[in-house]
Chains A and B, each alone.
Chain A
């Protein structure tokens, strides 16, 4: 592990713990039918990948992802209030209650959204990166990609386009082992997904331990610098999701596998690292945990107290009117 200072590590711990709490709370609220709808995909288990990767960016860089977007939104700085209100379909949600769990976005954070058609956001990432090059900026786009998306046409077309146009995109595959319920080995002729880079003449930065936030940060930092100066990069982060594909889907019967992954839980991995390197950090971690649990409860309260959208909201923003 490279040298990362203690405040930074604690901040990552805060973010990862916040995400875990947020997702646990979403799960509870869904069961209580306070969050409704058929789609909600929890980020539990993937926190190190999202937090470590987003930490490698500047504020002027861009982030885009698929529908498993809560963790990315929070890592990028969206408030839990704004995210939770969107979960509950409230006017105060980041998308005014019109997007839902899969469509969180925050323009002010350069978080371009969660997208719910597998692979659909990949060419958007290329287009956003084109603007950066076009206007002579050196901002990069970090585009998360599910392992499942690596098998559809969008992946091929968008990665190839980013290569032929030398676009500043870091393509980060979150390989959590399954596309819905189908294992990567069953759906991908080449299950080492980072190797796809060769096909596009793109920089391959290999695999990273997606359970280790410091490792993710280090690799993505290198990738971001490469993309800034040269062109697109592909990385594969090996991680795992603790819940089913979505809340309304069956969980797969893989208890032994789940227990193995929980042995290397991203939050525990960082906790161990902090405790080994810093004396008496345990109390600080406990404080962070208490604060983040309180923050999530406060967000739930805020969301519950918020207004539902109106008829005016229903018919607004179909077109840009002015």
Chain B
């Protein structure tokens, strides 16, 4: 089968649909996933195809959506719960962190929690302070949970399928800005990408750019621009914030001796902080320059377009950071 060009939302839809066909235990639940066809259209057509039993509209009850998914997973189902946007997952934090992530450990392996929480994440659409979050690192802080953040339609398909098939709870974020962006996606229904494996999206020898989700796009754009000036960037797409594939980063760093971390998230206690800390702990002898971080600005997001864009990372900010470490 040839790869097919499609936007990320269609790749996610394909993954979810294939897994629902493959495994009767897989079902979706969340706000507007059924009759409304999904806020982001990822579950478009599902209600007609799979019926009310497996495509479950819920009340606006984020605590109960996440918590009921935990219970259903413990009992043997494989829920894929949609939290409309990650901003609302703050209401589900207890169910995700205290229950989904802890139950397997706390009861010494008596229960498994094979569930996925999907949530749209990101900012940049004048969505304002409460609706402009990329808090993936918060979730990745806690052992017991996996956190997946795809950057391409292809990865979205392979990673979501892996998340659904895994016996551990997975928080899966989908960058809002990328839902409509197209890419080539394998049509095979056994296309599954391993959990916790990073991917080199571009090879280079001068500097390693470590990124996830939308940060990968900015990194690739920056690499393109820098290549014209003779600077070759290696772009490592982490794909998963937990497990975090640091060995792949270390291998790249041994070659480049320089690193810029690119993230859509905020800079304090962040993905960038973690990568930088691990590099100085384990790669100090290979280090030719301080690790730079390109993050969102440390401000709540405002409404006005002009100042909102100031706060966001972009390719140019990545270019500038690379030039500081070269």
Contact = CB atoms under 8 A, between A and B. Distances in A.
A117 interface: yes
A98 interface: yes
A317 B106 CA distance: 8
A321 B71 CA distance: 20
Contacts of A154: 63-64, 67
A74 B285 CA distance: 58
A130 B72 contact: yes
Interface centre among B64, B77, B109 (most CB of A within 10 A): B64
B58 interface: yes
Given A123-B71, A134-B27, A158-B68, A95 B110 contact: yes
A96 interface: yes
Nearest to B76: A131
B321 interface: no
A164 B68 contact: no
A320 B53 CA distance: 28
A98 B105 contact: yes
A99 B107 CA distance: 6
A106 B67 contact: no
B67 A103 contact: no
Interface string B246-271: 00000000000000000000000000
A97 B107 CA distance: 9
Contact of B70 (A103, A123, A157): A123
Contacts of B67: 120, 122-124, 126-127, 154, 157-158
A128 B59 CA distance: 18
B75 A131 contact: yes
A128 B72 contact: yes
Interface residues of A, number: 43
B94 interface: yes
Interface in A94-129: 94-99, 103, 105-107, 112-113, 115, 117, 120, 122-129
A165 interface: yes
A157 B104 contact: no
A130 B68 contact: yes
Given A160-B64, A317-B105, A320-B167, A120 B98 contact: yes
A130 B77 contact: yes
Contacts of A134: 27, 53, 72, 77
Given A115-B99, A320-B104, A161 B59 contact: yes
B11 interface: no
B116 interface: no
Contacts of A120: 67, 94-95, 98-99
A278 interface: no
Contact of B68 (A95, A103, A126, A132): A126
B205 interface: no
B168 interface: yes
B71 A127 contact: yes
Interface string B88-119: 00000011001100011111111110100000
A107 B58 CA distance: 28
Interface in A142-185: 153-154, 157-158, 160-161, 164-165
Interface of A: 62, 94-99, 103, 105-107, 112-113, 115, 117, 120, 122-132, 134-135, 153-154, 157-158, 160-161, 164-165, 313, 316-320
- Leading 5 A-B pairs by shortest Cβ distance: A127-B71, A123-B67, A96-B108, A131-B75, A157-B64
Given A130-B71, A157-B64, A318-B105, 11 more contacts: A94-B108, A95-B108, A123-B95, A127-B69, A128-B74, A131-B75, A157-B59, A158-B67, A160-B59, A317-B109, A320-B109
29 contacts: A95-B106, A96-B109, A98-B108, A99-B107, A105-B110, A106-B110, A113-B103, A113-B111, A117-B94, A117-B98, A122-B67, A123-B71, A124-B68, A124-B99, A127-B67, A127-B68, A127-B70, A128-B71, A130-B71, A131-B77, A157-B59, A160-B64, A316-B108, A317-B108, A318-B104, A318-B143, A318-B144, A320-B166, A320-B167
